[in-house]
Amino acid sequence: MTQDDTGHDRPPPPLPPRRRPVRRALTPLVVVLAAIYFLIDALFLPPVRAFARWLGRFRLLNRLADGIRALPPYPTLALFLVPLILLEPVKPVAAYLVATGHIVYGVTVLVIGEVLKITIVERLFHIGRDKLMMIPAFAWAYNFVVGWLAYLQALPAWQAVLRHVRPIKAAARRTWLRVRAQLHGLLAAVRKR
């Protein structure tokens, strides 16, 4: 204790806040995870979402979606897991192709497989979300993952990466919109022939 001017004891001034060792140790991991997350978000998700919207226009797929909505929770979960189980082997196959010197084929297999998996799984999740959330284990796992993602996104390292990534995402979005407009123009020219 120290004394003030009046001679009364007063507590020492508070120490500056110190970063906890765990948070300090996690910072590089969070930066890497954030960079990967934003890279995937910027590069892959806009075309995947556009592809999913395009697929959503087909009447047959809309009927299929209605059938999926009518399923009970556990068959919905089984249907949700099928594309994950079928398309997960794409990663080791792509890794094998890259390791054997077939880099273009490996990357192509990986990109096509992941785009298909993300498109199908995201579509199935949006269609069957209410039913899937009725399953206690699925709801717990979903809330656990969402909670961890929220925790990571609140960390200062994530926020720092986000500040740097926003301009990159904006540039990627502008590029995607230009490419999409050019593709629409090309398709319109082909249709006129």
**Which residue's entry shows tokens 């094998």?**
96
pLDDT digit string (tens) for 75-99?
999 998 898 888 888 888 888 898 8
More confident call, 130 vs 5: 130
Sign of CA dihedral 43, 45, 50, 55: positive
Confidence of residue 103 (pLDDT cuts 50, 70, 90): confident
Nearby residues of 34 by Cβ (< 8 Å), 6 or more positions away: 152, 157, 158, 161, 162, 165
pLDDT of residue 14: 57
- The confidence score (pLDDT) of residue 74 equals 92
pLDDT recorded at residue 36 = 66
Position 56 scores a pLDDT of 72
Model confidence pLDDT, tens digit, residues 141-172: 888 888 887 887 787 877 887 787 788 778 87
How many residues appear in the chain?
A: 193
Whether 145 contacts 16, CB under 8 Å = no
Q: What integer pLDDT is reported at residue 5 of this predicted model?
A: 55
Instruction: Kindly tell me if the per-residue pLDDT of 101 is higher than 80.
Output: yes
Show the tokens assigned to 184.
Answer: 């629409």
pLDDT tens digit sequence for 17-70: 555 665 666 666 666 666 666 666 656 666 777 777 777 777 777 788 888 889
Q: What is the pLDDT of residue 134?
A: 92
Q: Strands (DSSP E) along the chain, which ranges? A: 2-3, 9-10
